[in-house]
Amino acid sequence: HVQLVESGGGSVQAGGSLRLSCQASGLIFSRYCMAWFRQAPGQPREGVASFCSDGTTTYAERVKGRFIISKDNTENPLYLQMNSLESEDAAMYYCAAQLGFVGANYRLQTHGFPFWGQGTQVTVS
């Protein structure tokens, strides 16, 4: 059973930075994919970035060059370093995971990931 707990959200001024963390338990497979999604009020949940255990990363166009997803090993948290934050980045951010690989076309899509955290709020003013 996989459990995901996000932290690191908060309020920041436009142009500032935040680092989100996602601590996973039960991620016992050596092959996995994890991702960050976000959802603003009244908007669908959208993929932000994904990381798979083979080291491959995927980014949404809107965050390329500003956000960095990383994870050192199976035990360490998944991170999302967010730089040059814009008002459009304000949302609830969710961590998601899949045991095993997710197909490349699905790594920023919600149905690629069965396990979800409760979210952490990011506010940009």
pLDDT 10s digits, 32-58: 999 999 999 999 999 999 999 999 999
Two structure tokens written together for 122: 């990011």
Share of the chain above pLDDT 90, in %: 80
Does residue 10 surpass a pLDDT of 80?
A: yes
The Cβ of residue 24 has, within 10 Å, a number of other Cβ atoms equal to 22
- In 3D, which of 105, 111, 100, 120 has the Cα closest to residue 2? 100
The Cβ of residue 107 has, within 10 Å, a number of other Cβ atoms equal to 23
Which residue do the tokens 């963390």 mark? 21
The Cα 32–Cα 68 span in angstroms is 18
The DSSP symbol for 103 reads -
pLDDT 10s digits, 82-110: 999 999 999 999 999 998 888 888 899 99
- Report the DSSP beta bridge partners of residue 11: 123
Q: Are 32 and 100 in contact (CB under 8 A)?
A: yes
